[in-house]
Amino acid sequence: MADVTVSTRCTSFEPDGQICRLTGAACPMAGARSFRECDDSTYLAHVSMPPDEFQVLLSAAGRPAVGSLMVRRCRRPELHQGAVGVHVNAVLESAGDEAMLRAEWKMDGSVEYTCPATGVRMEWREGKFIPL
């Protein structure tokens, strides 16, 4: 079973300018830090399944989501729009976006994640991350 820790700050929130990375407009939720009230908010889940580490985006309801994801590569942050997650183990060892996860939404509500760089796979099912 995976160890999961979910951030409380929306991944689309740009703290320096207090703006939304999706719209470019001022974030109306920033003052009260009530990000979960925004329908477009996403949150970074740190998923640990040794030896693998992932960062996956979840909606306010705790379901897999697509959104903005900041990835650090050699101390340089890279913003990825339309992302679902990243295989942290592969970030420094892969070129381009190969470490970014690909997601396949299934008819039963589960989501299968695959890392193109490593071939590592995991599944989200009923609120749990499961190695495949």
Q: Three-state SS across 26-94?
A: ECCCCCCCCHHHCCCCEEEEEEEECCEEEEEEEECCCCECCEEEEEEECCEEEEEEEECEEEHHHCCCC
Domain count, the chain: 1
pTM for the predicted model, two decimal places: 0.88
Give whichever of 20-24, 39-43, 86-90, 122-126 has the largest mean pLDDT: 122-126
Q: Using CA atoms, how far apart are residues 1 and 76, in angstroms rounded to an integer?
A: 32
| pLDDT confidence bin for 39, thresholds 50/70/90 | confident
Give the range of the structural domain holding residue 26, as residue numbers without chain letter.
3-131
Q: What is the pLDDT of residues 63-118, one digit of tens each?
A: 999 988 888 777 778 888 889 999 998 887 877 788 999 999 999 999 999 999 99
Q: What is the pLDDT of residues 8-17, one digit of tens each?
A: 888 888 877 8
